[in-house]
A and B are shown apart, each in its own frame.
Chain A
Amino acid sequence: GNSVTQMEGPVTLSEEAFLTINCTYTATGYPSLFWYVQYPGEGLQLLLKATKADDKGSNKGFEATYRKETTSFHLEKGSVQVSDSAVYFCALSDGGATNKLIFGTGTLLAVQP
């Protein structure tokens, strides 16, 4: 079945450091890929998405490129801030009637000043 694997955390970085959170997926067909962010005590917010191979999603300085050949959707940011501290979830959707999202286990990012 479809699944998402993302790197375990926590990831601890200093402010202005480069961030990569790895995400790989297993899916039949052509899923859409998402990154959601969850700030402390809040719900999930869509950070970015890509709906087909080679698409790049971007938002708030974060980027991720849909790589079909490596089945990956790694999240990157060039210079993190303390306010980026949160849990990041990679997810996929294969559409269809269920519109179901399959999530990775989440990666906690802690950015220190």
Chain B
Amino acid sequence: NAGVTQTPKFQVLKTGQSMTLQCAQDMNHEYMSWYRQDPGMGLRLIHYSVGAGITDQGEVPNGYNVSRSTTEDFPLRLLSAAPSQTSVYFCASSELDGGAGNTIYFGEGSWLTVV
């Protein structure tokens, strides 16, 4: 009953450090994405993928890289962390059958603080 699993749950980084947030799903979903959640701004899409080998940018992609080498995994890389990247990060997945009603499943979140 795992669903979408994110690690780590909490992380503190120093400015300029790099790190990778891991995301895995066991539902064989084609679609995966990363959002960040900031106070008063809801959730904003960082990057998304519609299948292995295919990724694209969302609303706020700067400072982040992604790759999708397998259906299951979709890691998010922070190349050189900045305090503005302090946020809660959510990985999400869903089926992708062309309809707007697909339920998107979220992981439990990763709380990242950049000092």
**Does chain A bind chain B?**
yes
Q: Which residues of A contact B (CB under 8 A)?
A: 4, 30-32, 36, 42-46, 49, 51, 89, 93-101, 103-106
Q: A43-B108, A89-B43 are in contact. Are A31 and B100 (CB under 8 A)?
A: yes
Contact string, B96-111, partner A, CB cutoff 8 A, digits 1/0? 1011111111111100
Which residues of chain B come closer than 8 Å to A4, judged between CB atoms? 42
Q: Which residues of B contact A (CB under 8 A)?
A: 4, 31, 33, 40-45, 48, 50, 56, 58, 90, 92, 94, 96, 98-109
- Contact at A100–B48, with CB atoms within 8 Å? yes
Chain B: minimal CB distance from A99 (Å): 5
Which residues of chain A come closer than 8 Å to B58, judged between CB atoms? 98, 100
In this complex, the member of A43, A44, A103, A106 whose beta carbon has the largest number of chain B beta carbons within 10 angstroms is: A43
A-B contact count (CB 8 A): 69
9 CB contacts below 8 A, A to B, read: A36-B106, A43-B4, A43-B107, A46-B103, A46-B104, A51-B100, A93-B101, A98-B58, A100-B45
- Contact at A43–B106, with CB atoms within 8 Å? yes
Cβ-defined partner of B31 (8 Å) among A46, A51, A99, A105: A99
Q: A31-B100, A51-B100 are in contact. Are A105 and B40 (CB under 8 A)?
A: yes
CA distance A84 to B106 in the complex (A): 19
Residue of A nearest to B3 (CB): A43
Which residues of chain B come closer than 8 Å to A96, judged between CB atoms? 98, 100
